[in-house]
Structure 1
């Protein structure tokens, strides 16, 4: 099943999307929003699946063309967004380039941070940034969405708790990261709003390419219209999604609608390219002693997409442009801030 949210209100308007991403139908008679569907999954899943089958076999009513540009991220906002770093090769490269040893524990204990989740970017929304010198970077990832998960869950109990999968652009401001991490308190300013693919899919949509709690397809990234990377998401994933769920839920329960990201997809064999600029820069430093690839500038674009074995887009594409953010004050704002 494929689900999306029209960009309507804070939480969107749930629609069901055809397998080929060409048509859609409103699901408001079943669930007004995706969060409502996740909160009541056992009650609404069957009806949503029935609507999805009717849409694909041509018997659904009130069908309309699917337009990703009218979509919000599937969950326009979420109660929780926890992003991991499951591809430890990526972490090792970054540390190696700056001459830092990587603790052995990184191979056995996942890295996770809690990101901004009160308002995600739409899949085609500009990445607004105040300063180019902040080191603007894209990070192409995969994410899962869970239902309610008990604290202390074990990996063998995760089956059935992963309800949806999406793609992510986890935007990073690389030049703000070192000073933040030096404080020993984690990311904040260096991690602005992320964007997710226009469509979220149930795991069964991936067929045999979803196993061992990993997605076994290549993740395709274009930067300024040029192919940047196509690493295989099922290769070199040190921690699978069951292990990430177990880690995140070690000391807290997870509410329905929790999003957990994989971190930047990365392969040890770098011939397939990278999913972020920082990794390519690290490889350049390792090989040549200097980073040659610049971070993103105003006007730069990124496209993130995944295709099935027949070449059909699975989730639709994240397509974004970097834009200069300018503060916009209304007259009432100026009056409010003007001293009396």
Structure 2
């Protein structure tokens, strides 16, 4: 299933995305979850109810009440009000290349455990405009990622059991103000102000059944679901980044195991994968300067249109707007 949170005539709705159409779930059955939060809180029971409804819609040739064309709605973040937001650091290529570009050896702790940090779950945005302050545009960057959302409460979860806590997957863009980030991290704390202004997710939540054709074995020595999904970023229609979700070193199952050690996780918690290899200008600029002293750095600017695309998950479009 593809499940979207959208605005129609000023009201928030939850709907199935089928081709170019939105099927409002509330029109399917008024007792069904009306918001993403209700769906996630319902866990496996809500998942089964909506899957049965989705199957009826996609196999029926009848018209359904309230069906909307995609052009009629504005997509919000699929999970507009997460309980929390964590971002991991799970792609070896990104970590190793970024460290090499700074003249540093690969850090051995990367292979010992998956690391993550907390970001601002109140600054989640969906497709559309992303408002940034002037200082954010000082080396403003994208980060090409995939995120999951949790729909089952748990604690001390073993990696072998962790995938059952995942409701689905979506694209994530962890916008980063690098000038602010690099300055504050000299104090060995953060990232904070370099990250807390906007994280985009969307355009919809894709449940695991949709990704079965892309499923592959986990990396050698690792546990959990893995998928072969191509990931790209384009700025103003020009592709600048290309990677693969298959290259994720730590699986989401292993990240959940780490996160949940001694700590409860809750339905509505969002967890990012971290940046795929080549998936940000910070890495690309470092590689470019390493190969040529005349390399011109690239950063995002006001008015830029940023498009992240991931196989099976769709396209996440954002436009950068200056907020004075």
Regarding TM over 0.5, the answer is yes
Contact 2:235–2:306 (CA<8 Å) still a contact in 1?
yes
Task: Decide which moves more: 179-188 or 2-11.
Answer: 2-11
Contact 1:12–1:75 (CA<8 Å) still a contact in 2?
no
Quote how far apart the aligned CAs of 1:153 are: 1.1
Distance 1:35 1:276, change over 3 A: same
The total of aligned residue pairs comes to 310
Match of 1:13 in 2: 13
Contact 1:152–1:250 (CA<8 Å) still a contact in 2?
yes
Establish whether residue 259 from structure 1 lines up as the match of residue 262 from structure 2.
no
Quote how far apart the aligned CAs of 1:174 are: 0.9
Establish whether residue 218 from structure 1 lines up as the match of residue 230 from structure 2.
yes
Distance 1:108 1:68, change over 3 A: farther
Quote how far apart the aligned CAs of 1:9 are: 11
Contact 2:77–2:127 (CA<8 Å) still a contact in 1?
yes
Runs of 4+ in 1 over 3 A off after TM superposition: 7-12
Distance 1:69 1:175, change over 3 A: farther
Q: Counterparts of 2:10 and 2:145 in 1: how far apart (Å)? A: 24
Match of residue 45, structure 1, among 44, 47, 50: 47
Match of residue 77, structure 2, among 73, 76, 83: 73
Match of 1:250 in 2: 261
Normalization by structure 2: what TM-score?
Answer: 0.89
Match of 1:310 in 2: none
Q: What does 1:74-113 correspond to in 2, within 5 Å?
A: 74-113=78-117
CA deviations on 1:75-115 (whole Å, 9 max, x unpaired) are 11201111001002212222221222332112222221111
Distance 1:117 1:8, change over 3 A: farther
Establish whether residue 61 from structure 1 lines up as the match of residue 59 from structure 2.
no
Contact 2:137–2:302 (CA<8 Å) still a contact in 1?
no
Quote how far apart the aligned CAs of 1:290 are: 5.9
Match of 2:203 in 1: 198
Establish whether residue 232 from structure 1 lines up as the match of residue 244 from structure 2.
yes
Contact 1:11–1:77 (CA<8 Å) still a contact in 2?
no
Which ranges of structure 2 fall in alignment gaps of 5 or more residues? 219-224
Normalization by structure 1: what TM-score?
Answer: 0.85
Match of 1:3 in 2: 3
Q: Counterparts of 1:156 and 1:60 in 2: how far apart (Å)? A: 42
Q: What does 1:69-218 correspond to in 2, within 5 Å?
A: 70-131=74-135, 133-191=137-195, 192-211=197-216, 212=218, 213-218=225-230
Match of 2:23 in 1: 25
Q: Counterparts of 1:101 and 1:282 in 2: how far apart (Å)? A: 15
Quote how far apart the aligned CAs of 1:69 are: 5.9
Task: Decide which moves more: 283-292 or 211-220.
Answer: 283-292
Contact 1:17–1:24 (CA<8 Å) still a contact in 2?
yes
3-state DSSP of counterpart to 1:286: helix
Q: Counterparts of 1:251 and 1:288 in 2: how far apart (Å)? A: 47
Q: Counterparts of 2:190 and 2:73 in 1: how far apart (Å)? A: 33
3-state DSSP of counterpart to 1:230: strand
Match of 2:221 in 1: none
